[in-house]
Structure 1
Amino acid sequence: MDFMQFMGMILHADKSLKYVIENYGTLVYVVLFAIVFCETAFVVFPFLPGDSLLFIAGTFSATGAMDPWLVIILLIIASVSGNSVNYWIGSLVGHKVMEKEHRWIDQKALKKTHDFYEKHGGKTVVLARFVPLLRTFAPFVAGFSEMTHKTFQFYNVAGALLWVLSVVLSGYFFGNIPFVRDNLNVIVLVGVGAAVIPVVLGALWKIGKGIMKTSR
């Protein structure tokens, strides 16, 4: 699989995953593992399609194209191990990254995740699983926010189980309904929007309150 094929899978996950299954067989499991691992392990890959890929993997599993239990187990392992690597990186270099801007890291997303962490604590590691961008930065923030490794792993495993099981099984049970199958990309975008919009509205509400206080 060359770079252009990989990028095609990122942009059109449903069609590309089918292509990988038909032409590369069991290599599809390696591809799924690698994408989920990279999205959760490295803050430079927040654009990778976590939610849509899990949902579509569940959809194809329902048709017999993939083993659903193998998909679930591999993606849980990828998610847990990816977050663990991200936590470790955050504990080593997190403070330096926060203090100095780096063009290859979305500084706004990092700051938003840090603020979210300050408000919700360890639950952020679980809640962020369902929110693009926050999902990538949450374990990194936990790493330099003095959360103990034991506490982090509790939330890490719990979040991975909830995220992978809920999204993959949603695809398994609902992904092949004609309406869902024919509008898969739109539904995935709506799902992502449903996760992101409450966070954005919360941030805007906070900003609005701050403006109102300063204007008094």
Structure 2
Amino acid sequence: MTRLSVNINKFATLRNARGGNNPDVLKAALDCERFGAQGITVHPRPDERHIRYADVYAIAPKIGVELNIEGNPQEGKFLNLIQDIRPAQATLVPDATDVLTSNQGWDTLRHADYLKATIEKIKSWGVRVSIFIDPIESHIAGAAQVGADRVELYTEAYAQQFSQDPQKALEPYAKAAKKAQQVGLGLNAGHDLDLHNLSFLVQNIPLIDEVSIGHALVCDALYLGLEKTIQAYLNALAIKS
């Protein structure tokens, strides 16, 4: 079954809006694990506008599930964080410092030399490496060539098109998944996945190892509660056609 990694950045966003420590981000991570999440994802940014580097250092030794740390490796603090913590997975995302949220994947052909050197360094620390990527088959082949273990498909386009034509929205992602399998890469997915579009994705692409979901899950938790929401997402992942 596809595993659920909960991105807890939005808990930190809410805390930072008021100051203090409410909600407690460490408690949120532990509760997500207690309620069934199979992984915790964090994505610290240089301005620490949501999750802070100190949060990651606090969370890492406390959780028992896999920790996935996302970020741009061109930010020096990010690589230091990976080296210090040695999470189960580092997901490399080419987000610029001025973007609100991640909005593109890597061009693994254009940045092949940089990615290869960076991935070699991270893997030398015993950390699995995933590359955030658009569903472009040549870029997926490039990810294998630079030494990545997995790719994370950037699913915003799928989510935007889903309500109009689910099958059409799925097509490039199904092709990308097939390419990842052909070149020996594991497969993750994330961005704008929710309870409306998640089941269809994993029914049709059962190769997906892990989805990382934060914003939609936290929004649903405002109405359903965190425990019921995590169970709803796990149920969505468990549905098979």
TM-score, structure 2 normalization: 0.27
Q: Which has the higher contact order (CA 8 A, sep 6+)?
A: 1
Query: Quick check: which has more Rg, 1 or 2?
Result: 1
Structure (1 or 2) with the greater strand fraction: 2
TM-score, structure 1 normalization: 0.29
